Amino acid sequence: MSCPRLCGSSAAWLILNSTAVHGQSAALNLQAPATSLARMEYDLHTMLLLVTGAIFLLVLAVMLYAIVRHRKSVGHEAKPFHENTTVEIIWTVLPLLILLAIAWPATRAVLNQKSTHGEDMTIRITGYQWKWRYDYLDDNFGFVSHLATPRAAMAATAVRPEHYLLEVDEPLVLPTGRKVRLLLTANDVIHSWWVPQLGIKQDAIPGFLRDAWFMVDKPGIYRGQCSELCGKDHGFMPIVVDARSPEDYARWRTARLQQLAASADDPSKVWSLAALRERGEKVYGQNCLPCHQASGKGIPGNFPALDGSPIVNGDKAAHIRIVFHGSQRNPAMQAWGKQLSDTEIAAVITYERNAWGNNTGQLVQPAEIRAVRGGSG
């Protein structure tokens, strides 16, 4: 884009798309806090802003005064003093005292953030490339939360929905007024779970468990994003927390548990090719598409193509092996056996073997995956 066009279009943009059009003004401060933690952080930041702002203005004022008055062009003669022990002691001790004054509330805030005991419920959050899994440990169920903004909306020309890149298919639903303890971990690389309004940011680290807590004040939708560079789709890993009143939450929980019981896959069911393909396309779209692309062509140099791939078109067992166990050679290819059910793996393999230019006509039944799972202990 040429510079004149760049400047021209942006000037026009600034005039046309003022806050009224977007309904969102450009924020100058932290997002409105919705938990005691976030409020504490907000207040602490305000205090720091005032203190540092005052120091800056003071420094600026003295400097500007000197620049205006003590210049050669107005005939000011230099006074060659170059030390003064008293002022040096003052401007060493005074900042120390200011820092001590800051350290006191800061310490209390840190201790508060870290006190995760006495929880009412516990959620385990697992970061995956590039989605979040939420497990309700008290109720023994969980689900995966994916970006819900369609990929087409990222094209330059598309009209973008209001919550572009900040919407998911399955938000984390939680009750208000309950102390929620989070246990965070990751499956592949380090991710970071950040919801500004809840005052939480905590890295999710593979192989380790970290904890954090919050208690939401009032019902609402709170949005955030992964904040640790986790690879290609780092920018497309939103977090949505749907906080509901305890009654609403209880209703949602009951409905959710019933729905789960009703829709559970029977791993011994025998599927038809068409049904498996259809199911597999969904699984593919949620899990495989970011790397291997909708076209199955992959991203040359980074992620191999599945369309025409010798593994996908060759021996079924090899195909199952790599989907189930991941790739030793290329760690970006995950071990999906840990993440997906037997039915989902069977479906996605069937889909891959019969999508794009691949036309093996073969299908893989969930029982075959169960055999692998059993065999792998």
CA-wise closest residue to 198 among 185, 178, 190 = 178
Which residue, 77 or 247, is less far from another protein as judged by CB? 77
User: What is the H or E stretch that residue 318 is in?
Assistant: helix 316-325
Residues of this chain, 212-271, that bind another protein according to CB under 8 A: 212, 224-236
3-class SS at 12?
Answer: helix
CA-wise closest residue to 204 among 175, 235, 228 = 228
Which residue, 10 or 245, is less far from another protein as judged by CB? 10
Question: Which of left, alpha, beta for 177 (phi over 0: left; psi -120 to 50: alpha)?
Answer: left
Give bridge partners of residue 145 from the DSSP assignment: 132
Give bridge partners of residue 186 from the DSSP assignment: 127, 206
Sign of CA dihedral 363, 364, 366, 371: positive
In whole angstroms, the minimum distance from the beta carbon of 247 to another protein comes to 30
Exposure b/e, 203-216, CB count within 10 A at least 16 = b: bbbeeeebebbbbb
In whole angstroms, the minimum distance from the beta carbon of 180 to another protein comes to 16
Q: Which amino acid is at 99?
A: L
Sign of CA dihedral 161, 165, 167, 170: positive
Which residue, 226 or 283, is less far from another protein as judged by CB? 226
Which residue, 19 or 272, is less far from another protein as judged by CB? 19
In whole angstroms, the minimum distance from the beta carbon of 259 to another protein comes to 30
Which residue, 195 or 364, is less far from another protein as judged by CB? 195
Q: How many CB atoms lie within 10 A of CB 233?
A: 14
In whole angstroms, the minimum distance from the beta carbon of 148 to another protein comes to 13
Give the residue, chosen from 137, 150, 206, 258, that forms a contact with another protein under the rule CB under 8 A. Answer: 206
Give the residue, chosen from 36, 122, 124, 194, that forms a contact with another protein under the rule CB under 8 A. Answer: 194
CA-wise closest residue to 343 among 257, 261, 289, 263 = 263
The interface mask with another protein, positions 326-345, x = CB under 8 A, is: ----xxx-------------
3-class SS at 23?
Answer: coil
Peptide bond into 130 cis (omega under 30): yes
Which residue, 129 or 343, is less far from another protein as judged by CB? 129
Which residue, 82 or 218, is less far from another protein as judged by CB? 82
Applying CB under 8 A, does 371 fall inside the site for another protein? no
In whole angstroms, the minimum distance from the beta carbon of 136 to another protein comes to 21
In whole angstroms, the minimum distance from the beta carbon of 263 to another protein comes to 32
Residues of this chain, 73-92, that bind another protein according to CB under 8 A: 73, 76-84, 87-88, 91-92
Considering only the stretches 99-107, 255-263, 280-288, 307-315, report the one whose residues sit in contact with another protein under the rule CB under 8 A: 99-107
Applying CB under 8 A, does 295 fall inside the site for another protein? no
The CA distance from 376 to 374, in Å, is 5
3-class SS at 163?
Answer: coil
- Give 284: exposed, middle or buried? Use CB within 10 Å, 0-12, 13-18, 19+: buried
Residues of this chain, 101-120, that bind another protein according to CB under 8 A: 102-103, 106-107, 109-114
Applying CB under 8 A, does 199 fall inside the site for another protein? yes
Cβ–Cβ under 8 Å, residues 125 and 133? yes
In whole angstroms, the minimum distance from the beta carbon of 340 to another protein comes to 19
Applying CB under 8 A, does 13 fall inside the site for another protein? yes
In whole angstroms, the minimum distance from the beta carbon of 268 to another protein comes to 31
Applying CB under 8 A, does 171 fall inside the site for another protein? no
Which residue, 205 or 372, is less far from another protein as judged by CB? 205
